[in-house]
Structure 1
Amino acid sequence: MSVTWTGPAEAPVSARIAALAPSLQPSERRVVDAIAADLAAAVECTAQEIADRVGVGRASVIRTAQSLGYDGYPQLRVALAREVALAPATATADDSPIGSLRAAVDRFARALPHLTAALTPADVERFVAALDQAPRVVLVAAGLSAPLGLSMAMRLSAAGRPAEYLPDTLSQLIAARSLEPGSVCLVISGSGANQPSLDAAAAAHEAGARVLVLTSFARAPIVEHADTALVIPAVSDSFSDELVHTSRAALALVIEALVDQVVTRRGSRGREARDAALRLIGGRLRE
């Protein structure tokens, strides 16, 4: 099945690659991995030079550009040049522990502008409205995404929007299957391919509930079950790097911002619930 970028036109190349890479054809994935590894070098290459570098045909490079949402490779090069020109300067390499730590933080900071690149205002509005209005919300998250499920359930509950999170995946499946029409099953899955989460999303959809998804990849299997999916591109430099250094930091940051939007939407109800939660926390603190 052909894969094509359908997100915002202003999304940078690196964000498109991060969101689409897992669902591209093998030859296209080799092309995007080469581009992502060195954006500046890719700007200087023709389609044929990229093809020769990664061992694919020129047509594969052109097809990759089209999968990323561009008319052809020249338009992809222009988008790359713009992204490189706007990128902040990188710090001097330092192999010490503190230097490596700073470098990791710097890489994440450079990725921050891209975290919302695949989002549309309409999708975010539908997502927040569904959370606010649903009579019942069940959180589904497993593996490395499991802590995010607990975090979001706690944050939503503190905002006066009670949400359920059960750490056991079988319990999540049972809860999802018990949802009624109008309720929400919110699935958090960085990979978008976790089988227990896929099963729970399918069960919730079959039950008539609204399925909301937070994931890192636009063509992940979990998106097929979603009524509304928010795609937060991975912060890694390439898909292969994401497999080795899997991070959920980007999703965690967006989750906090989404809960703030729920609080804002709920108006005085949200503010009062948050104030009450803070008073309870204050009462438990000691010098």
Structure 2
Amino acid sequence: MNWHGAPDASPSARIAALLPSLQRGERRVADAIVADRAGIVERTAQELADAVGIGRTTVIRAAQSLGYEGYPQLRVALAQELATEHAQVEEGDGTMVGAVRAGVGRFAAKLANTVSALTEEDVLEFITLLDRSQRVLVIANGLSGALGMDLVLRLTAAGRPAEMLPDAMAQQIAARQLGAGSLCVIISGSGANRATLEGMRAASEGGAQVVAITSFARSAVADAADVALVVPPVNDSFQDELIHTSRAAIMLLIEQLVEQFVTYRGERGREAQAAALSVLGSGILE
């Protein structure tokens, strides 16, 4: 699978989204880039091929899979990425607070990458389906479960009632009964949660449209969805994502998608927000 996101997306963002889908030799190229971006800028395609033990054509093919015309264009993009990285990441000062600051700094430095794989067509399709569907079922499990509940609450406050069930079997039953004209929203960072995939399959069999929000462009969830909104992980590799899992980028995207949904609905969206604010206001004590 090749890159189909924003043309100005950084090489790091492209690798984060596509790494699990690359061929074995291409993954070795991508791993080498992640390990030493500055060093790769100084290497020719043949030098890189020799360093990782593959053929020169595999290096070129990897660059093309990442969305570049060839390896020279990838080297230029890497040089630009290194030159324009504006966030200075703190190394920490040995304290817990320092470690927290360093972690936040690393996330902030890669924040722009988290939306680089989105396309106008896919976002508009998702917003349109939200607006027109008779029912909206959200399926999310594991670490993505809290994000699913957050989406349900935000959509409900925006005048688009949605539902989510915590039990995996109940998810499948509800998904299978959705039918045509309904929407199933899948949230799965890894794109490989078994319970989520079963619920997704049930929704498709029932005739519902399926939209996936996930971290990897080529995963079981992304492949099976009618629309896939890919949010590249903030970690440098698939292994890092498994060990140091973060859902912060997806959470941020969900907030912004609901904001766009309210704007898309115009007066209906504003009225729903006003009603929600009225309820919230009455529940706050001085």
- Aligned partner letter, 2:14: R
- 1:106 is aligned to 105
- 1:5 is aligned to 3
Alignment partners' CA distance in 1, 2:111 and 2:135: 32
- Aligned partner letter, 1:48: Q
Query: Residue deviations 1:154-180, cap 9 Å, x none?
Result: 100011100001111111111110012
Query: Residue deviations 1:132-166, cap 9 Å, x none?
Result: 11110000111111111100001000111000011
- 1:77 is aligned to 75
Give 1:92 shift: 4.4
2:24 aligned with 1:26? yes
Secondary structure at the residue paired with 1:115? Answer: helix
User: What number of residue pairs does the alignment pair up?
Assistant: 285
Alignment partners' CA distance in 1, 2:267 and 2:126: 20
2:184 aligned with 1:197? no
Give 1:115 shift: 1.4
Give 1:181 shift: 0.6
**What RMSD in Å do the two structures reach over aligned CA positions?**
1.6
Query: Residue deviations 1:246-273, cap 9 Å, x none?
Result: 1110000000000011111122222222
Secondary structure at the residue paired with 1:131? Answer: helix
Secondary structure at the residue paired with 1:69? Answer: coil
Q: Is the 8 A contact 1:33 1:239 kept in 2?
A: no
- 1:121 is aligned to 120
Change in Cα spacing, 1:114 to 1:30, as seen in structure 2 (3 Å) is same
Q: Is the 8 A contact 1:37 1:238 kept in 2?
A: no
Alignment partners' CA distance in 2, 1:208 and 1:253: 30
Change in Cα spacing, 1:9 to 1:91, as seen in structure 2 (3 Å) is closer
Give 1:89 shift: 4.4
Identity of aligned residues (%): 56
Query: Residue deviations 1:40-71, cap 9 Å, x none?
Result: 23212222333344343433322211221222
Alignment partners' CA distance in 1, 2:82 and 2:145: 35
Matches within 5 A, 1:247-286: 247-286=246-285
TM-score w.r.t. length of structure 2: 0.94
Alignment partners' CA distance in 2, 1:203 and 1:92: 46
Gaps of 5+ in 1: none
- Aligned partner letter, 2:62: T
Alignment partners' CA distance in 2, 1:208 and 1:238: 35
Alignment partners' CA distance in 1, 2:168 and 2:148: 12
